Structure 1
Amino acid sequence: MDSKQLFKKRFSAHLKETVRYLQYILNGHLAIAILFLLGAGAVFYQQFLTQLPDNFPTDWIVSLLFALVALYNPIQNLLKEADLVFLFPAEKKLTPYFNLTLWYSFLTQLYLVAIVAAALAPLYQTSELTESYQLLLLMLVFFKAWHFLLNWWILRVRDRAIQRSEKLLRFLLQLAFFYSFINRHVLIASLLAVGLIGLFVYLYYYSHRFALAWDQLVEKDQQRMQSFYRLASMFTDVPHFKTSIKKRRLLVGWLTKAIPFEQKNSYSFLYRITLSRSADYFGLYLRLTLIGAMLLAYFDHILIVLVVSMLFLYITGIQLVPLWYHHRTQIWGDLYPIKMTERKDAIIKLIEQLLALQLIVFTLVSLLTTDLWQSGSVLLIGIVFITGFSRIYVMKKLT
């Protein structure tokens, strides 16, 4: 077995699949929305820095985020379920393969270091902390590589309690080290570094008492890919995606109790249950509503308020359109004696109601933070937008 050739084949297939779905995710509309959100966030950040209080806990925020980034090290081994049978007997020959997957996993996580470092640099410089930011970044990369190895070793341990406790201990030690390092508490930082080294050595010898847990590696690879498929399924059909269902009896009852028990309302009932029980649509709807409300609570300029509210209504709307395709692979829906026009009316009505509820939240937030004229403008323009979006844009998508 040529383990390096195996990695090249697995990596090539993984890269092609990822790029193919990313093309659907980062379509033109979403890319424009992301660019606008980044621009709005930059404006918000700049205004925040100009009003930064003297006692702002920059050292704690930087320490917390750096510690989280250092400990966040998902490992992608590109394993498949069948490998438990076909590759497990050749484990001793797969050392080069696992080394290459570890390098791939670590290098792909450095983007997070770059994002957090770039985002916190203006805050760090504005706070005028004494420790060099460049030296702090070098320490972050060093400890991230350190924790990455620990994450790989601890995958041999099957006891979940031990995994959670050692990760919590590492987080606390890392947080305390960054805080001490930023504030130049040299003695405390040195003691904490010694503690991290001791934990590093102990976990190495403890974890290597156990064999490589192939089933855990395959399970974690599948979980990470399912998370990616869940995101991609919002934009296109993903055959590999396994939807997760939650009962949510109270929410289902609240959304369906007002639907008359008639044949023509079958799809209205079905789409509301899908929205409620699916782990994708309902959670995403709540998150977008909350983020949009938080942004509107900060901005007070009428143009920014209108653009932000319409942008989040649009993003939420395009994320709800895949409800129409959710049951397309099942034949039972085609057996319902229901006209296609009634099915389309059901999804359009649901999207309109959800966007209207989101618009009410945005209007109330705008009313509390600005004045009656601005909140009224948000409401009126939002109604026009929702009507046009659902009756024109969504109708064209329903094929």
Structure 2
Amino acid sequence: MLNAHRLFVERLSAHMKELSRYLRYIVTGHIVIAMVFIVSAMSVYYQRFLEDIPDYFPSAWVIAIVLGVVTAHSPIQTLLKRADIVFLIPAESQLSSYFTRTLVYSFVTQIYLFVLAMAAVAPLYMAVFSENSSYGLLFVVLLIIKGWSLVANWWMLRIRDKNIRVMDKVVRFSLIVTLVYFFLAQEIIFLAVVTVLLIVLFATNYQTARKHKALNWDLLIESDYLRMRSFYRLANMFTDVPHLETQVKKRHWLSRLLTGSLPFQQKQAYPYLYRLTTVRSGEYLGIYIRLLVIGGLLIYFVPNPWLKLIFALLFMYMIFLQVIPLWKHHATLVWLDLYPIAQQVREQAFIKWMQQLIFVVALVFILFLIIIGEWLMGILMAIASLMFILFGIPNYLTKKIGENNVNPFQ
């Protein structure tokens, strides 16, 4: 007979071991140091903003949306593996206690983000709604709703139709945001109406679960796989993750744009490969664009000109660190060793492509600084970027590649 408790303990132990294996690389990386600096700087300006909040600022909606996101977002980690779809389905009736424990584990691991969000909006709440001293009550209510949201999400995972699940999440999120808004506005009647609607939605989820008692094992396993894959992609920025599976997206128009100008020559093999990998891999283009957008937003909203320059340089460096793993992206492919191309040619192609990628970032930030009227910061950014691209990138990459040609960025 299957021991559900022992199975959960074994799966949880293996899961925690896997997380700790890569977390020790993440917490000591450059990105963490950069994020600490960003959070510290933004905290200072957040405090200054609270001292003189504009009358037009929608404080209630900001608080409602932030708390609504962390409350409604309740993913479930079942710790299932792909082989379980074969070996554990026959014992599904014996796994009720196992899944109960995974729900508790999922809830506990999500509390930290919920608490951080509550702590982040607490100063704004106290500054705008100082006469309403019921923030503790709001915390308790949302914590209960989050537990309900997790259970409701588990029930809805029995539904195979993705559109129904998405619609349920949208309705749930909307109701939670509305609930928080009416709580802040002290609209008791509307608050009662939204509460009744949440109860009705909860009852509907329960009835749905009763009609669909069988678990969608493939959906549960795929959800866990995608969640761990996201973690591996993050860890791969700091160390090598050998078993990371990558997704490939065609992106025809962008591929043609980047590779159309390359002549059909042997020495252009690696420039062609690195450009296609950057565009089609699911790891580089997304983080490249996201950091570019976040950096631009920070440059725009931070009032101090020197901090604008610091953020521009910092995000340029962060993007550089994110695309460095491109060098080892094809390390496990033996056929690259069959290329009749010298290692030095490959290294030079990689360095040149890194310089081109960072040049685009620097150009965007420089133009943005000039557009918003920070001419001096734009000029300083241009000088610093030019020095980094022409001297910093080649020296850094050459040194790293020379340390270990097999896996230089571990």
| TM band (smaller chain) | over 0.9
How is 1:1-399 mapped onto 2 (pairs within 5 angstroms)?
1-128=2-129, 130-131=131-132, 132-210=134-212, 211-299=214-302, 301-398=304-401, 399=405
1:264 deviates by: 1.0
1:232 deviates by: 1.9
Q: Contact 2:29/2:238 (CA < 8 Å) preserved in 1?
A: no
SS in 1 for 2:204: helix
Q: Contact 2:305/2:374 (CA < 8 Å) preserved in 1?
A: no
Unmatched tracts of structure 1, length 5 or more: none
1:137-166 CA distance string (max 9 Å, x none) = 111111101111101111111122221222
2: CA distance, partners of 1:335 / 1:312 = 37
1:117-146 CA distance string (max 9 Å, x none) = 111111112213543222111111111011
2: CA distance, partners of 1:197 / 1:293 = 42
Q: How many residues align?
A: 399
- Kindly provide the amino acid, as one letter, of the partner of residue 163 in structure 1: R
- TM-score, normalisation: structure 1: 0.96
Percent of aligned positions with the same letter in both sequences? Answer: 42
Could you list the structure 1 runs, at least 4 aligned residues long, displaced by more than 4 angstroms after superposition: none
1:73 deviates by: 0.4
1: CA distance, partners of 2:372 / 2:50 = 21
- Kindly provide the amino acid, as one letter, of the partner of residue 100 in structure 2: N
2: CA distance, partners of 1:260 / 1:100 = 58
Q: 168-177 vs 139-148, which deviates more?
A: 168-177
1:361 deviates by: 1.0
Q: Contact 1:79/1:221 (CA < 8 Å) preserved in 2?
A: yes
1:199 deviates by: 1.9
2: CA distance, partners of 1:55 / 1:181 = 20
2: CA distance, partners of 1:199 / 1:297 = 41
1:300 deviates by: 5.0
1: CA distance, partners of 2:377 / 2:64 = 39
2: CA distance, partners of 1:224 / 1:99 = 19
Q: 350-359 vs 366-375, which deviates more?
A: 366-375
2: CA distance, partners of 1:145 / 1:23 = 30
Q: 103-112 vs 363-372, which deviates more?
A: 363-372
1: CA distance, partners of 2:269 / 2:45 = 45
2: CA distance, partners of 1:343 / 1:395 = 12
Q: Contact 2:300/2:308 (CA < 8 Å) preserved in 1?
A: no
Q: 3-12 vs 157-166, which deviates more?
A: 157-166
- Kindly provide the amino acid, as one letter, of the partner of residue 96 in structure 1: S
1:360 deviates by: 0.9
Q: 276-285 vs 91-100, which deviates more?
A: 91-100
Q: 194-203 vs 278-287, which deviates more?
A: 194-203
Q: 123-132 vs 350-359, which deviates more?
A: 123-132
Q: Contact 1:156/1:208 (CA < 8 Å) preserved in 2?
A: no
Q: Contact 1:251/1:276 (CA < 8 Å) preserved in 2?
A: yes
- TM-score, normalisation: structure 2: 0.93
SS in 2 for 1:208: helix
SS in 1 for 2:95: helix
- Kindly provide the amino acid, as one letter, of the partner of residue 358 in structure 2: L
1: CA distance, partners of 2:373 / 2:46 = 20
Q: Contact 1:70/1:143 (CA < 8 Å) preserved in 2?
A: yes
- Kindly provide the amino acid, as one letter, of the partner of residue 262 in structure 2: I
2: CA distance, partners of 1:372 / 1:203 = 57
- Kindly provide the amino acid, as one letter, of the partner of residue 74 in structure 2: N
Seen in structure 2, the aligned counterparts of structure 1 residues 130 and 114 have a Cα distance that, compared at 3 Å, is same
2: CA distance, partners of 1:198 / 1:320 = 48
- Kindly provide the amino acid, as one letter, of the partner of residue 139 in structure 1: V
Name the residue aligned to 2:408: none
1: CA distance, partners of 2:29 / 2:287 = 20
